[in-house]
């Protein structure tokens, strides 16, 4: 018959597993900022409104409804000219597919505070791109703080 060797005194495998799991939990919870995936309903409303403004060419409205962080980085004219260049190079958006949504609370860049970064894989008339919308929450309201498009068609 097979005999199991005696356990060393004081050793408990279940306790060891619990200790390792506990340490991993502590390490994971100590990461910088709090992150979770998903899009809060109020933030989705802001993204939808921004997308409608971009698609309709309402760049002034988009700028005026954006976060202060947006308006500090560029003027109304600069912002409108950037969107027009994107439209001229890529054409109109055809299909947007949600790729990633990441909600964060941080005290550091790119945007300190409660923010949400949403990335879409987007098919435009003249190429494919990744659109990144960065929203920030102020006083319980979400605002568009940054918008970035990455595409080889922009070269």
60 is a domain residue: yes
| 119 close to 20: Cβ distance less than 8 angstroms | no
62 is a domain residue: yes
136 is a domain residue: yes
Q: How many domains does the chain have?
A: 1
Domain CATH code at residue 47 = 3.10.450.100
**Residues 6 or more apart from 87 whose CB is under 8 A from it?**
57
Q: How far apart, in whole angstroms, are the C-alpha atoms of residue 119 and residue 116?
A: 10
23 is a domain residue: no
Cα–Cα nearest to 74, from 85, 119, 43: 85
71 is a domain residue: yes
Specify which residues 133 forms β-bridges with: 118, 147
User: How many CA atoms lie within 13 Å of 49's alpha carbon, on the beta-carbon side?
Assistant: 16
9 is a domain residue: no
pLDDT of residue 77: 98
* pTM for this model (two decimals): 0.74
Domain of residue 48, residue span? 34-154
22 is a domain residue: no
The tens-digit pLDDT sequence of the chain (155 residues) is 556 555 555 555 554 443 444 433 433 333 343 344 579 999 999 999 999 999 999 999 999 999 999 999 999 999 999 999 999 999 999 999 999 999 888 877 667 789 999 999 999 999 999 999 999 999 999 999 999 999 999 98
């Amino acid at each position: 018959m097979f005999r199991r060797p005696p356990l060393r005194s004081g050793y408990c495998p279940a306790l060891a597993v619990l200790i390792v799991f506990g340490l991993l939990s502590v390490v994971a919870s100590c990461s910088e900022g709090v992150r979770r995936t998903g899009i809060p309903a109020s933030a989705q409303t802001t993204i939808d409104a921004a997308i409608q403004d971009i698609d309709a060419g309402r760049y002034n409205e988009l700028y005026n409804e954006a976060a202060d962080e947006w308006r500090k980085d560029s003027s109304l004219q600069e912002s409108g000219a950037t969107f027009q260049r994107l439209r001229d190079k890529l054409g109109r958006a055809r299909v947007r597919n949600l790729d990633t949504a990441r909600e964060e609370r941080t005290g550091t860049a790119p945007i300190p505070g409660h923010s949400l970064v949403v990335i879409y894989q987007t098919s435009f008339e003249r190429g494919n791109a990744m659109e990144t919308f960065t929203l920030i929450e102020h006083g319980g309201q979400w605002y568009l703080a940054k918008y970035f498009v990455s595409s080889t068609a922009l070269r």
